[in-house]
Structure 1
């Protein structure tokens, strides 16, 4: 049986949040009836302000369950320096989720989140040793018959057509090799505010398995980039026996809601790779 995920990202409550896009997202998400909603970070625009967290929490509560969520760099305070350095994700833990390494499982499916956000940078991300250990321990539970999906906020590289200078995950090669070690099928990211589908083999050609990279644009803010400037987007992902169908959904201005504008078929490779 097919398994459907709604992948949204970069909500950014507070300026430049788009309330109309959020209302339509909620309605369309319930109509789609996904088996899982994934939110890949940046719940708020500025984590320093309690009102933005209340809005983000309310939005999350109005979306369908079950959900798997991870934090983004905007979910770390910018102005509250002491909190940024010593308790960067305290507000995220209080308002969104106490679990920085969530796991969701269904028959034949495992979705594993990891936190790339931290307080030592404004924009970039990193998988710290504790996150790598947690990710390794969780992925080791699942055999080659399980379709494995990892979720974090920062991508391991920029899409080929992306012209803006952005900081990605700083230890990308180490993180990509970890995905390959456990034959992870798909990585879901956000951060760049543009939709994209690619493969880690485009970054490190010598990988044994390769992991599909599926990126969501900003789903409810006005900060879409490039061809998605001013647009709101998300992904509807359907996992099937022999691969995954990824539909990029875009909010239509004529009132039709989030509708497919592109589709990718990502065939599943033979998974003879075992963790080592």
Structure 2
């Protein structure tokens, strides 16, 4: 039976939060009724302020369950230096969840969260030694045929033609090698405020196994980037026996809701003769992209 994940990211309660997008998201999320809601970080704009955390809690409460969530760099205090350096996740643990490495399982599927945020940089991310070891242990316990999804905040590479200078996972190569080691099917992330579908082999062609990358834009802030400037986006991912279907959903002030604007088919290795994923834009004309399937 297909398994559906609604993937949202970069909520950023506090300026420049978009309440209209949030209300529409709540209504549409319940109408979609996903099997799992994933939030890939940046719950608040400034983690120093309790009011923003309270707003994030309220939004999360109104969204469907079950949920799997991870922290982003904005979820670490900026101005409270002692907290930032020595207790960076105290507020995240208090208001959102004490678990920095959540796991959700269903028959044939595992979704595993990891934390790339830390207190030693304002915008950057890293999968530190403890996170690497925890993720490795969690993945090692899964059956070989399990469809494996990993979630963290920072991306491992930029979309084509991306112009901004934003930090990636500092040890992106090592992180991608870990995903390849355990044949992870899908990596969900955010941070760049721009939707993107690609593959780790786009950045490290020598990888034995390529992991699809599905990035969400900002779902409820006004800081969308590039052709998503002024818009809000999320992803509806349907995992099937032979692959995953990803719909980019987009909302802007002229829209009546989060509507599909593109659809990607990501074939699973050894289930199809194709080695490329397909994208169908909103005008429904089919084309190929450069994403390479794992194998």
Pair in the same fold by TM > 0.5: yes
Mapped to 1, the partners of 2:191 and 2:270 lie a distance apart of 30
Matched residue, 1:243: 243
Deviation at 1:253, TM superposition (A): 3.1
Matched residue, 2:92: 92
- Following TM superposition, the consecutive aligned residue runs of length 4 or more in structure 1 with deviations greater than 6 angstroms are none
Normalising by structure 2, what TM-score?
A: 0.91
Mapped to 2, the partners of 1:243 and 1:11 lie a distance apart of 28
Mapped to 2, the partners of 1:244 and 1:203 lie a distance apart of 21
Give the unaligned 5+ runs of structure 2. Answer: 272-295
Instruction: Tell me, yes or no, if the aligned pair for 1:252 and 1:259 is still in contact at 8 Å.
Output: no
Instruction: Tell me, yes or no, if the aligned pair for 2:21 and 2:252 is still in contact at 8 Å.
Output: no
Deviation at 1:270, TM superposition (A): 2.6
Normalising by structure 1, what TM-score?
A: 0.97
Does the C-alpha gap of structure 1 residues 243 and 159 become closer, same or farther in structure 2, counting only changes over 3 Å? same
Mapped to 2, the partners of 1:71 and 1:86 lie a distance apart of 16
CA deviations 1:9-41 (Å, max 9, x no partner) are: 000000000001000000000000000000000
Summarize the alignment of residues 26-41 of structure 1 with structure 2, pairs less than 5 Å apart: 26-41=26-41
Larger mean CA deviation between 107-116 and 254-263 belongs to: 254-263
SS in 1 for 2:224: coil
Does the C-alpha gap of structure 1 residues 254 and 230 become closer, same or farther in structure 2, counting only changes over 3 Å? closer
CA RMSD, Structure 1 to Structure 2 (Å): 0.8
Summarize the alignment of residues 102-121 of structure 1 with structure 2, pairs less than 5 Å apart: 102-121=102-121
Question: Greater relative contact order: 1 or 2 (C-alpha under 8 angstroms, separation 6 or more)?
Answer: 1
Matched, 1:124 2:136: no
Matched residue, 2:171: 171
Residue-pair matches, total: 271
Mapped to 2, the partners of 1:209 and 1:120 lie a distance apart of 32
Mapped to 2, the partners of 1:259 and 1:31 lie a distance apart of 13
Matched residue, 2:286: none
Instruction: Tell me, yes or no, if the aligned pair for 1:190 and 1:216 is still in contact at 8 Å.
Output: yes
CA deviations 1:93-145 (Å, max 9, x no partner) are: 00001000000000010000000000000001001111001000100111221
Matched, 1:186 2:186: yes
